[in-house]
Homo-oligomer: A and B are copies of this chain.
Amino acid sequence: MTFPATARADHELGVNAIRRARELTEPVLRELVDRLGPSLGGIGRYHFGWWAGGSGAAGKALRPTLAVLAAEAVGAEAVDAVPAAAAVELVHNFSLIHDDIIDNDELRRGQPAVWKEYGVPAAILIGDALHSEAFGVLLSSGHPGAPAAAMRLATAMREVVVGQVDDIRFTARPWTGEQAVSVAEYQAMAEAKTGALLAFSAAGGALLGGAEAAVADCFDRLGRHLGLAFQCTDDVLGIWGDPVRTGKPVFGDLREGKRTLPVIAALAAGGAASERLGVLVERGVRTDFELRLAAELVEEAGGREFAEQEAARHLAEVEDCLTSLAMPAETRGSFDALAQSLIGRSR
């Protein structure tokens, strides 16, 4: 893989930012999990992959990185953002643990999900513990910006939960007709479920870096649009992504009958391809022939183009936010790299 010179430099900045965020955040998380005592702490270490047979790596550290970069953007040190970075990792992981119960997902990061390994009661309780710890780590930091950040975390978590409920409720609705999920409803759900927590990462990091509320609001918008751009891209990749690069089966989301933006937009578009797609998805898409046909109809009805345009629009909003905030060139480059690593997976 070759990069043009600037993109390569940005890429390195991004890699460094992720390493910096991870190195600062992980020891704090480990200490918090250990403090939960032998039994609950052991379950926490299992989830994070911190055990003899575990991966040792808890995800991509995207959210902590966003917090760290936001603090640096407002002139503070990376270390100032750590309570926000740790808090967002804690709530993100609490959500994963509870979502795996809710969605009956048996695997998480290549190992049995917590509920599968330790049972539903233990999974509920470790999730609840991480949820409280998130507020605890923020507030106990004593940072002047911590109470405001913790308040935003509470608001973000309300959005995340409401988004999760809407996502579940969507599955009970028909694909077509007046009761179908609209593009606007889907986007509101995606903003709540995915955007709100990235918004907190950025705004929380900025607040701990000493930013005023108005500046934090700008970082909130940045994180929110980044989350939405990510979701649009993820929805496109879920159908047309290269299985080798995404790690998911081809047409995976269509196979699972997941409601995603390209499909919802294609069904709402009207016209021959849209109507044919409606008949197909109402019946259920099962065979390889039907999967390929459905993907073609989504594309023909304009669903793929719409989702890609939406991703580009949200990415442009991210760039607008970044430009409106004066920040060191290196920090700006790191943000760009982070956005690319999220969005650029399709290229």
Q: Which residues does A use to contact B, with CB under 8 Å? A: 35-37, 39-40, 94, 98, 101-102, 120-122, 124-125, 127-129, 131-133, 135-136, 139-140, 146-147, 150-151, 153-155, 157-158, 161-162, 164-166, 168-169
Q: Indicate if the CB atoms of B136 and A154 lie closer than 8 Å.
A: yes
Q: Indicate if the CB atoms of B121 and A102 lie closer than 8 Å.
A: yes
How far is A146 from B165 in the complex, measured between Cα atoms in Å? Answer: 30
Q: Indicate if the CB atoms of A139 and B150 lie closer than 8 Å.
A: yes
Q: Indicate if the CB atoms of A161 and B129 lie closer than 8 Å.
A: yes
Contacts of A127 in B (CB 8 A): 128
Q: Indicate if the CB atoms of A36 and B125 lie closer than 8 Å.
A: no
Interface of A is mostly: helix
A102, A133, A158: which has the most chain B beta carbons within 10 Å?
A: A158
How far is A102 from B168 in the complex, measured between Cα atoms in Å? Answer: 22
Contacts of A151 in B (CB 8 A): 135-136, 139-140
How far is A54 from B101 in the complex, measured between Cα atoms in Å? Answer: 29
Contacts of A154 in B (CB 8 A): 132-133, 135-136, 139-140
Task: State which of B35, B39, B133 has its C-beta within 8 Å of the C-beta of A169.
Answer: B39
Task: State which of B98, B135, B153, B155 has its C-beta within 8 Å of the C-beta of A124.
Answer: B98
Name which residue of chain B comes closest to A39, CB basis.
B165
**9 A-B pairs with C-beta separation under 8 A:** A37-B162, A122-B165, A125-B164, A129-B161, A131-B131, A132-B158, A135-B151, A139-B154, A146-B147
Task: State which of B36, B39, B101 has its C-beta within 8 Å of the C-beta of A158.
Answer: B36
Q: Indicate if the CB atoms of A131 and B133 lie closer than 8 Å.
A: no
Q: Indicate if the CB atoms of B102 and A124 lie closer than 8 Å.
A: yes
Q: Indicate if the CB atoms of B139 and A158 lie closer than 8 Å.
A: no
Task: State which of B40, B139, B155, B162 has its C-beta within 8 Å of the C-beta of A147.
Answer: B139
- Sample of 15 more A-B contacts, CB < 8 Å, known A125-B165, A135-B150, A136-B155: A37-B162, A40-B161, A40-B165, A94-B128, A101-B120, A102-B121, A120-B120, A125-B161, A127-B128, A129-B157, A132-B154, A132-B161, A135-B135, A135-B153, A147-B147
Contacts of A128 in B (CB 8 A): 94, 98, 127-128, 131, 157, 161
Q: How far is the CB of A277 from chain B (nearest CB, A)?
A: 28
How far is A39 from B172 in the complex, measured between Cα atoms in Å? Answer: 13
Name which residue of chain B comes closest to A123, CB basis.
B124
Name which residue of chain B comes closest to A154, CB basis.
B136
Q: Indicate if the CB atoms of A166 and B39 lie closer than 8 Å.
A: yes
Decide yes or no: A124 and B139 within 8 Å by CB, A36-B158, A40-B165, A169-B39 being known contacts. Answer: no
Contacts of A161 in B (CB 8 A): 36, 40, 125, 128-129, 132
Contacts of A135 in B (CB 8 A): 135, 150-151, 153-154
How far is A140 from B153 in the complex, measured between Cα atoms in Å? Answer: 11
Q: How far is the CB of A63 from chain B (nearest CB, A)?
A: 17
